[in-house]
């Protein structure tokens, strides 16, 4: 039950950013990027990414420079890109800081330590990536993080996507 017919914080039609509106119409994969081990783990939900096939295959992602993940990536130089499925909606919100996660987001789901960082056991798939040593640069409001794919695993299920402000499969 709600007293609002529309979202109460959405700007009026004339005040909406057209680029943001267009970007919202582009389906984006929902992933959680993770790095570190034990108490030094960090993770963040990321939908702005590109996986480029080649020899070697490459991954590019946009990471919030103020996130714990950005700092941890500088320390480890490695990341696991966990591709989420329908069953991981809450996990996506927990790592995005949109849902409560008592004990931290790594208490949600089953995680295994991997060479490149924590791996979600029932992920739709994951990539192990070694990050480039080159200094990161800004792309829009985020840091552009680039790396080489060293490991690929494909699991079961359909990937979760984000489209027009909602999760879909």
Give the tens place of pLDDT for each residue, 86-131: 999 999 999 999 999 999 999 999 999 999 999 999 999 999 999 9
pLDDT, averaged across the chain: 93
Token pair of 33 as six digits: 């990027």
Residue 93, number of CB atoms within 10 A of its CB:
18
Give strand pairing partners of 111. 120
Per-residue confidence at 77, pLDDT binned at 50, 70, 90?
Answer: very high
Name the residue among 35, 36, 34 with its Cα closest to residue 45. Answer: 34
Kindly tell me the sign of the dihedral angle through the C-alpha atoms of 168, 148, 23, 141: positive
**Locus of tokens 């680029």:** 19
Instruction: Write down the pLDDT at residue 16.
Output: 76
Asked whether residue 136 carries a pLDDT value surpassing 80, the answer given is yes
Determine whether 136 is exposed, middle or buried from the number of CB atoms within 10 Å of its CB (0-12, 13-18, 19+): middle
Q: What domains sit in the chain, N to C, each tagged with a CATH number?
A: 28-168 (2.30.110.10)
**Average of per-residue pLDDT across 45-62:** 98
């Amino acid at each position: 039950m709600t007293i609002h017919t529309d979202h109460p914080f959405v700007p009026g039609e004339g005040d909406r950013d057209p680029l943001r509106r267009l970007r919202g119409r582009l389906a984006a994969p929902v992933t959680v990027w993770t790095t570190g081990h034990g108490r030094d783990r960090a993770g963040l939900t990321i939908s702005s990414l590109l996986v480029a096939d080649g020899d070697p295959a490459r991954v590019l992602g946009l990471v919030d420079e103020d996130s714990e993940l950005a700092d941890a990536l500088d320390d480890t130089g490695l990341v696991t890109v966990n591709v989420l499925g329908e069953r991981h909606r809450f996990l996506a919100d927990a790592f995005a800081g949109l849902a409560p996660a008592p004990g931290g987001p790594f208490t949600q789901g089953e995680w295994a330590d991997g060479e490149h960082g924590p791996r979600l056991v029932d992920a739709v798939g994951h990539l192990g990536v070694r990050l480039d040593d080159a200094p990161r640069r800004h792309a829009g409001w985020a840091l552009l993080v680039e790396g080489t794919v060293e490991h690929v695993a494909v699991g079961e299920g359909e990937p979760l996507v984000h489209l027009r402000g909602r999760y879909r499969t």
